[in-house]
A and B are shown apart, each in its own frame.
Chain A
Amino acid sequence: MIMIVEPHNAEKHAYLLEQMFRLRARIFRDRLGWDVAVKDGKERDKYDDQDPVYIIYTDDRGHKIKGSLRLLPTTGPTLLADFFSDTVPDAVHIMAPTIWECTRFCLDDDVWQKDKEEILFASTVLLVALGDLAIQAGIESIIGNFDASALHLWRRIGCEVEVLGSTSRYGRPVYLGIHPISEAIVSRIKKKLRSARSAFAEARVVAA
């Protein structure tokens, strides 16, 4: 299932949010070795206080998290503008109501430990959810930070990511990329998803 969580329904989904912050700690600190602040096993930063929109992918019953991502409008405070301002200014000072930033994309360890198809499938589900949400909300482009493997994955799924710049300042190279969202692109990705798995029902977007 897909859950869209904003402050107004955060209480209802507190259990999932808690899992998400723990997952982020495991992925970004433990697995990727990023310099992120972890407290009580949870990774949170100040952008989590800016009322972001979370897309959370769970098991069929909505109990266990499989992956998540975080969205913020580029018209407000953004992580990318703060972290990449001096290294990739052209990319991170893009501001427009129709362009949003996606950060903290991650998949559960269980998914990571399975085969590549599972990773591809779970990522595709999240991207389809992102696409549907974007179209509904009038969002036309998504800007985000990618490592080399995420960039490869995104493109393989069918996102037309254009790299606007990169930096190795934080260790391994980080790419700043932007990709358009349109009905055509989203329906193309959905088609792939359908053929990837008969269990397409899993990807149904459930309004939360």
Chain B
Amino acid sequence: MLIDKPMQTMAGSLSKDDLLTEAFAIVENTQDMDGVVSKLRDILKVDHVVYYSSKLEAPTVPYIRLTYPGSWVKRYLQMGYGEVDLVLREGFKRTLPFEWKEMQFVSPAEAAFQSDALAHGIGPHGYTIPVASRHGYRGLFVVCSSQSDEAWAKFLSSTKSELIEIANRLHSRVVAEVFGKDRPHLTAREVECLRWVALGKDATEIAAILEISPHTTRDYLKSVHYKLDCVSSAQAVTKAIRLGLLTL
């Protein structure tokens, strides 16, 4: 998937579609994962982005890519904060996305960790998205910010669905790197929907042709997008043809 559009400047505010397109292009085309998380941080305009996953390669060494300052990472390791870091510890015990403020700090050590994190510019706002894969491998995608409560609430409500898509795209890249990318499998119905897209039909028209609801048509297409790591149906058509999953 090549995006020949130039990178937009950070100052320019991206539309939701552009944000997703750009984020997916970053995940697809940036060589190293450190570069991926820092570029994502820039386009999302948050303070930090972190990706963790478990059970990859050596089970005791988590796979972590983050944008936190080196001083904080050093401090974190020195202090053994991994023991009291609820975002990490509790994150892998959650399936629904959650805001940091939902977590209850019970021990003094957890509270001390939280205030030290704040002093290093981590938080107070944070959103963690647990992600899964068919192999059963879990990951966490985290964004955090020090902006005002109002600005954070607005950011989260307007960007939540994009964050979830990006979190899953990032996870599928890591899963593919570690386990190899399985050739995507599209069902007969998914191919059918995609073929009509290729012929220029939109979801409502396809729904009428297939005698299903427009919402279900979009669900099939969302599934195609996810399986092919695409943000749009147009992109999915191109990729499906290239992979030999769709012939016109």
Interface residues of A (CB under 8 A from B): 4, 6-8, 50-53, 71-77, 81, 89-90, 93-99, 133, 136-138, 140-141, 160, 162, 164, 178, 180, 207
Contacts and interface: CB of A to CB of B under 8 A. Distances in A.
Interface of B: 90, 93-97, 102, 131-134, 136, 138, 160-161, 164-165, 167-168, 185, 187-190, 212-213, 215-216, 219-220, 222-223, 225-227
Given A53-B96, A138-B160, 12 more contacts: A4-B96, A51-B138, A73-B132, A75-B133, A76-B132, A93-B187, A93-B190, A96-B222, A97-B167, A99-B223, A133-B96, A138-B161
A183 to B, nearest CB: 12
B219 A94 contact: yes
A164 B164 contact: no
Nearest to A72: B95
> Which 7 residue pairs across A and B have the least CB separation, nearest first?
A76-B132, A90-B189, A8-B93, A7-B93, A96-B222, A180-B215, A97-B168
A126 B21 CA distance: 36
A98 B220 CA distance: 12
B233 to A, nearest CB: 13
Contact of B216 (A52, A137, A178): A178
Given A8-B94, A53-B96, A96 B226 contact: yes
B136 A50 contact: yes
8 contacts: A4-B96, A51-B94, A71-B95, A76-B134, A95-B223, A97-B165, A99-B219, A160-B213
Contacts of A51: 93-95, 138
Contacts of A160: 213, 215
B220 A94 contact: yes
A53 B195 CA distance: 35
A162 B215 CA distance: 9
A52 B95 CA distance: 7
Contacts of A98: 161, 164, 222
Given A97-B168, A99-B219, A76 B133 contact: yes
Contacts of B216: 162, 164, 178
A6 B215 contact: no
A178 B134 contact: no
A81 B215 CA distance: 21
B223 A94 contact: yes
A111 to B, nearest CB: 26
A75 B165 CA distance: 11
B223 A6 contact: no
Given A6-B93, A75-B132, A138 B164 contact: yes
A124 to B, nearest CB: 21
A68 to B, nearest CB: 16
Nearest to A77: B136
Contact of B188 (A74, A90, A137): A90
Contacts of A93: 185, 187, 190, 223
Contacts of A99: 219, 222-223
Contacts of B132: 50, 73, 75-77
A119 to B, nearest CB: 26
Contacts of B97: 137-138
Contacts of B138: 51
A94 B213 CA distance: 15
A77 B136 CA distance: 6
Nearest to B222: A96
B187 A89 contact: yes
B223 A89 contact: no
Given A50-B136, A77-B136, A98-B164, A7 B226 contact: no
Contacts of B219: 94, 96, 99, 141, 178, 180
A50 B189 CA distance: 28
A138 B102 CA distance: 17
A77 B134 CA distance: 5
Given A75-B131, A162-B212, A97 B187 contact: no
Given A75-B168, A99-B222, A6 B96 contact: yes
A81 B135 CA distance: 13
B223 A75 contact: no
